[in-house]
A and B are shown apart, each in its own frame.
Chain A
Amino acid sequence: MPDTAPDMLAVEDLARYFDVSRPWLQRVLVREPRRTLRAVDGISFAVPRGTTLSLVGESGCGKSTVARLVVGLYRPTEGRVLFDGLDLDQARATAEQRRRMQMIFQDPYASLNPRWRVRDIIAEPLRAFGLVQGRADQQARVAELLNQVGLSPLDGEKFPHEFSGGQRQRISIARALSSNPEFLVCDEPTSALDVSVQAQILNLMKELQRRLGLTYLFISHNLAVVRQVSDRIGVMYLGRLVELAPAETLFTAPRHPYTRALMEAIPDLEMSGRQRIPVGGEVPSPISPPPGCPFHPRCPLANDRCRIEPPALIPARGTPQTVTACHAVEEGRDHPGEAIPGLAPAAA
């Protein structure tokens, strides 16, 4: 690669644990030890400039925690976050640097202060970063931003509750764009929206990326959505990355048994009559994750090694652009492309 500029974002062995012990007195009374929840447990990835990396996974697997670590809302327990080659603390030291990263949230009803007018919401970063001189300048910039996300400048006078979910999400995007960021962290930006509105927002985000050259860290639990926006995709399970691959490769040749199970589980709109095979079991608690490979209690390919030794994230046999953490893939006993025989429902 001729381009030697550092990746927009690099995450190295990032981990974040939460102390979820009960209050001291209760702990002493019921003689319970401290309990640690490993929300994110040692993950690494990089997002090159101008591209989109998506993280997918089921509820509680740690996606939002990664997003918050990346923008500095949480401090890592271990590992580090590099933004444009700089350690996050340095990269967020000055206002001029902080303005380069912004975040879009999931809940369009909680992400806007209900007591502020839309124009003030959008102008907040402008004022905080000193990006405008005087009221007229600010007004013009807010109008421009509202136009950019498909709203009318007149909407600036209204309060958030006067808008629908999709329109609020547009306001969130306008606020995020106001500081001319290069990097946007989007934590489930369309999960709370109806499909037809979701399409509007996804199209808007893609268009903005093309026009402004933005880099996205995109978080979602919806594989179909992720396919539309991503260059690369990471699949998370219980705080770890189990597979990381170019978007097309992940869909044409998923390798990790969990990825394959997830794809199997998605309702089939094509109605090919294919009988879906649900993944059995449930996601274990991140407070006491299973030893070895965290997926082994649900994995049809699990063997004794899986129950003891945690697999490392390494290039997969056959599809080396994919890295995956699975002993079966490493040992070549995963039969990619075929249905996994025992991926049977625990229920039915």
Chain B
Amino acid sequence: MNSPTRRGTLVALHDISFSIAPGEVLGVVGESGAGKSMTGAAIIGLLEPPGRIAGGEIRLNGRRIDNLPYEQMRRIRGREIGAIFQDPLTTLNPLHTVGDQLIETMQTHMDLSAREARARAVGWLEMVGIPAAAQRVQSYPHEFSGGMRQRVVIALALCAEPKLIVADEPTTALDVSIQAQVIALLKRLAREKGTSMMLITHDMGVIAETADRVAVMYAGRIAEIGPVREVVKHPRHPYSVGLMASIPPLDRRVEQLAQIEGSMPRLSAIPPGCPFNPRCPRVFDRCLVERPELLEAGGTRAACWLYDEARPAPGMHEAADA
């Protein structure tokens, strides 16, 4: 995906490839500026202009959707792809009751009578845990608290029963105790309805709880992708290793937290070779010139030359012991 900027064309995302199976939750983690949200936006077809997809394709159920005209894409959004964003207030229309918004979304995408749609709206509010749903359908968004609003947003994203949900930081604006409720809800609904989900967040805990597989993004690329257990417990890519180690543990106190020196490069100033090379503790000469592709890394796939079996890195056997 390329995005032209004032200073020329800025390649914000690079060769991102992944797939999500029905009913699967793919977590996407990374630090701010890693390109997580842009990946999500590209899939929903809502890249902010002048951003655009310069290469590659996106397929939904085998059908290519990245080159569809706007009108067709609009129909797919909502009907086949649902979106949940961080800030529930910007998603909900303050001028309409939540019931009307649910009904409108359902009637746009499904063939439902008014009465049926209303009944379903109440059902959805119940499903996402709004108490006294039958009365609350008539409420306006501002009459709900933050956590309840986010649940309404979830209901709205799910009510047309899409096949894929792209959730961008759905719990970040919420309190821990509410977060847990929302995560549990998302997880349950994905499982019950067989919906695929792309869960974008910077919170590793949320990923560990919810996702089946996880992609770690760094500087607009996937650094590592694999089953969540492997990535969290035995990360292979040096960046994932650093990222996991820097998360403060809840169950013990450590005197010195592991930290990754430096900061992520701006997308306009990514170094040649491996984008992580200025900060990587295991950098070696090849990293400075050649850009690594995703390589099989025993359980996960990592974009790191340490895992190139064809050309083993110097000192690789020590690493295997560690």
- Chain B residues near A194: list those with CB within 8 A: 31-32, 202, 264
Alpha-carbon separation in the docked complex, A251 to B204 (Å): 21
A79-119 residues at the B interface, CB under 8 angstroms = none
Asked if B258 and A199 sit within 8 Å, CB to CB, the answer is: yes
Chain B: number of interface residues, binned into ranges: 35 or more
Chain A min CB distance to B84 (Å): 16
A319-348 residues at the B interface, CB under 8 angstroms = 345-348
Alpha-carbon separation in the docked complex, A248 to B179 (Å): 25
A208 at the binding interface (Cβ < 8 Å): no
Asked if B258 and A268 sit within 8 Å, CB to CB, the answer is: no
Which residue of chain A lies nearest to B130 when distances are taken between CB atoms in the complex?
Answer: A347
B233-267 residues at the A interface, CB under 8 angstroms = 233, 242-243, 246-261, 263-264
Alpha-carbon separation in the docked complex, A195 to B258 (Å): 11
Alpha-carbon separation in the docked complex, A211 to B147 (Å): 42
B180 at the binding interface (Cβ < 8 Å): yes
Of the candidates A199, A263, A264, A268, the one having the most CB atoms from chain B within 10 angstroms of its own CB is A199
- Chain B residues near A165: list those with CB within 8 A: 32
A279 at the binding interface (Cβ < 8 Å): yes
B94-144 residues at the A interface, CB under 8 angstroms = 128-129, 131
Asked if A225 and B248 sit within 8 Å, CB to CB, the answer is: yes
A198 at the binding interface (Cβ < 8 Å): yes
A224 at the binding interface (Cβ < 8 Å): yes
- Chain A residues near B251: list those with CB within 8 A: 251, 270
Asked if B253 and A58 sit within 8 Å, CB to CB, the answer is: no
Which residue of chain B lies nearest to A277 when distances are taken between CB atoms in the complex?
Answer: B180
Given A58-B177, A194-B32, A203-B256, does the pair A348, B188 have CB atoms closer than 8 Å? Answer: yes
Which residue of chain B lies nearest to A190 when distances are taken between CB atoms in the complex?
Answer: B248
Alpha-carbon separation in the docked complex, A80 to B301 (Å): 58
Asked if B243 and A347 sit within 8 Å, CB to CB, the answer is: no
Asked if B184 and A345 sit within 8 Å, CB to CB, the answer is: yes
Given A200-B259, A278-B184, A345-B181, does the pair A59, B175 have CB atoms closer than 8 Å? Answer: yes
Asked if B257 and A203 sit within 8 Å, CB to CB, the answer is: yes
B15 at the binding interface (Cβ < 8 Å): no
Asked if A196 and B242 sit within 8 Å, CB to CB, the answer is: yes
B185 at the binding interface (Cβ < 8 Å): yes
B148 at the binding interface (Cβ < 8 Å): yes
A126 at the binding interface (Cβ < 8 Å): no
B205 at the binding interface (Cβ < 8 Å): yes
Of the candidates B32, B178, B248, B254, the one having the most CB atoms from chain A within 10 angstroms of its own CB is B248
B286 at the binding interface (Cβ < 8 Å): no
Q: Which of A199, A222, A228, A269 contacts B204 (CB 8 A)?
A: A269
Asked if A276 and B260 sit within 8 Å, CB to CB, the answer is: no
Q: Which of B180, B208, B228, B263 contacts A197 (CB 8 A)?
A: B263
A314 at the binding interface (Cβ < 8 Å): no
A154 at the binding interface (Cβ < 8 Å): no
Asked if B176 and A58 sit within 8 Å, CB to CB, the answer is: yes
B residues engaging A (CB < 8 A)?
31-32, 128-129, 131, 145, 147-148, 151, 175-181, 183-185, 188, 202-206, 208-209, 228-229, 232-233, 242-243, 246-261, 263-264
Q: What 5 pairs between A and B have smallest CB-CB spacing?
A: A267-B205, A347-B129, A278-B180, A199-B246, A194-B31
Given A195-B202, A280-B181, A348-B185, output 11 extra A-B contacts at Cβ < 8 Å.
A58-B176, A195-B243, A195-B247, A200-B261, A206-B256, A269-B205, A269-B232, A271-B208, A279-B181, A345-B181, A348-B129
Q: List 13 A-B contacts (CB under 8 A).
A: A58-B177, A196-B246, A197-B31, A202-B248, A203-B256, A221-B175, A228-B248, A265-B180, A267-B183, A282-B147, A282-B148, A282-B178, A347-B181
